[in-house]
Amino acid sequence: MTSKAATLTRPQKAAAILVAMGKPSAAKLVKFFKPEELKALLEAARTLKTIPQGELEKIVAEFEDEFAEGAGLLDSNEQMKGILSEAMTPDEIDKLMEENKPAPTGDEPQPIWPQLEALPAERLVGLISGEHPQTIAMILTNIAPGAAAGAVALLPKNVRGEAVKRMISLGAVPDKAKSIVENQLRTRLEDKSATKDTSAGQIRVAGLLNELDKDILDEVMVDVEAAGAPDLESLRSKLFSFEDIIQLAQRARVTLFDSLPAELVTMSLRGASPELTEAILASLGARSRRMIEAELKDSTITPPADEVNKARKRIASTAIRLSSEGALELPSLQNAA
């Protein structure tokens, strides 16, 4: 019958002897080992099982020097760490252990949070909006602030308030609960039938439709609805024309025009309806309003129609961008909430 000592590798035998020597003596020796030799000893200690006294004596006999009498080995891995702690700092041990970790097999699931951050805000909200506010709060606290802000802007108001309130008081989430949520989200992302991503196509179509004049845009949307286009509300949330400014909340209008130069605003108001003109002027500071009103009263200035349209489309595009950043809500999103 083959003895256990005969089946051990040389690193395992060396680890066995070091553990048998005890911390004080072994710690003096490990200082003379090279880093790669220490890593080999650590790996050997992990796989080392209980060694009876008789077998240990056979191992010791293979070496020229005799070592102090020792007992059979139990939990060699932990004892080897204890020996190293006598000769190395905790940081050095941690670095050694990190370098000695087995290489990833490639079967580990990809982290879910970066994948959620990369999703368009509309799709992210579609994944989480049906969850309990506590779960939504946990998800949003685990993704980048920019991605979380985009989702918060699109959540229904009743859900949004509860989720943000819970984010404020959210403590540490148990690993088990967090793992359950991660696995559910991962399953949803991998389910192509449930999470088919049409956002890229919607963005392309919305960009095209936003180039149309308001009257033509309304006609096209009627045709698109009659054709049975899917997820029409999501498409509408990406549409915004200059004429829709009058439907914005006053606070949203102030946010929009606070970032726009007076010359652009003046150009956009050439030929605008009195109601729309007043809504925009009421969103400006007193000084800017007086200056723009003076410019508009000058009947000698008649800019080309394409310049006026270009200014209006630039303002509409700015509103869409600010909405995507969570700075304001477009009329379609206000109505949906």
Q: Do 329 and 249 touch, CB atoms closer than 8 A?
A: yes
Residue 207 lies in a domain: no
Q: Please give the pLDDT value at position 299.
A: 81
- Distant-in-sequence, close-in-space partners of 319: CB < 8 Å, separation ≥ 6: 240, 245, 248, 256, 328, 330
Low-confidence winner among 30-44, 191-205, 238-252 (lowest mean pLDDT): 191-205
Residue with more model confidence, 95 or 282: 282
CB atoms within 10 A of CB 231: 15
State the Rg of the chain over Cα.
34
Structural domain includes residue 152: yes
Candidates 257, 251, 259; CA nearest to 269 is 257
Q: Which amino acid is at 325?
A: E
Q: Which residue has the higher pLDDT, 215 or 290?
A: 290
Residue 210 lies in a domain: no
Query: Which pLDDT score is estimated for 261?
Result: 92
Query: Does residue 20 sit in the same domain as residue 88?
Result: yes
Q: Measure the CA–CA gap between 196 and 170, rounded to whole angstroms.
A: 31
Query: pTM to 2 decimals?
Result: 0.41
Residue with tokens 């960009």: 207
CATH number for position 74: 1.10.220
My answer on whether 19 and 79 are in the same domain is: yes
Question: Are 11 and 36 in the same domain?
Answer: yes
200 lies in a domain?
no
Residue identified by tokens 């793992």 is 179
187 burial via Cβ count (<10 Å: 0-12, 13-18, 19+): exposed
Same domain assignment for residues 63 and 127: no
Query: What is the structure's pLDDT at 96?
Result: 58
Taking the CA atoms of residue 6, residue 7, residue 9 and residue 15 in that order, the dihedral angle to the nearest 10 degrees is: -80
Q: How many domains does one find in the chain? A: 3
Same domain, 78 and 120: no
- Which of the given ranges, 88-97, 194-203, 270-279, 314-323, has the highest pLDDT on average? 270-279
Do 257 and 329 belong to one domain? yes
Residue that finishes a domain, picked among 132, 167, 190: 190
- Residue ending a domain, among 99, 128, 147, is 99
Question: E strand or H helix at 224, and its extent?
Answer: helix 214-226
Residue 87 sits in the same domain as residue 122:
no
> What is the predicted pLDDT for the residue at 74?
38
- Predicted confidence at residue 336, as pLDDT, reads 43
State which of 24-33, 38-47, 84-93, 235-244 shows the largest mean pLDDT.
Answer: 235-244
For position 305, which CATH number holds?
1.10.220.30
Residue 36 has pLDDT above 50, yes or no: yes
Could you give the percent of the chain with pLDDT greater than 70?
68
- Give me 98's structure tokens: 């990190």
Q: Span 189-218, mean pLDDT?
A: 68
Residue 146 in any domain: the answer is yes
Q: Do 28 and 92 share a domain, yes or no?
A: yes
The pLDDT of residue 150 is above 70: yes
Residue 149 CA: distances (Å) to CA of 146, 155, 324: 5, 10, 9
Q: Is residue 296 part of a domain?
A: yes
pLDDT over threshold 80, residue 146: yes
Residues 143 and 178 in one domain: yes
Which range marks the domain in which residue 47 is found? 4-99
Domain-embedded: residue 158: yes
Geometric angle at alpha carbon 296, from 292 and 299, rounded to 5°: 155
Residue 170 domain-assigned? yes
Token pair recorded at residue 251: 């606070």
Q: Give the end of a domain, one of 49, 77, 99.
A: 99
Report pLDDT digits (tens) over 292-304.
999 999 888 889 9
The tokens describing 33, both together, are 């080992």
Q: What is the mean pLDDT of residues 36-63?
A: 69
Mean pLDDT of all residues in 65-84: 46
* Residues 92 and 116 grouped into a single domain: no
- How many CB atoms lie under 10 A from the CB of residue 127? 18
Q: Is there a single domain that holds both residue 248 and residue 328?
A: yes
Highest mean pLDDT among 44-53, 166-175, 194-203: 166-175
Quote the pLDDT of residue 27.
67
Mean pLDDT computed over every residue of the chain: 76
Read off the pLDDT band of 128 (50, 70, 90). Answer: confident
* Range of lowest pLDDT (115-119, 164-168, 228-232, 257-261): 228-232
What integer pLDDT is reported at residue 75 of this predicted model? 43
Q: Are residues 247 and 329 in the same domain?
A: yes
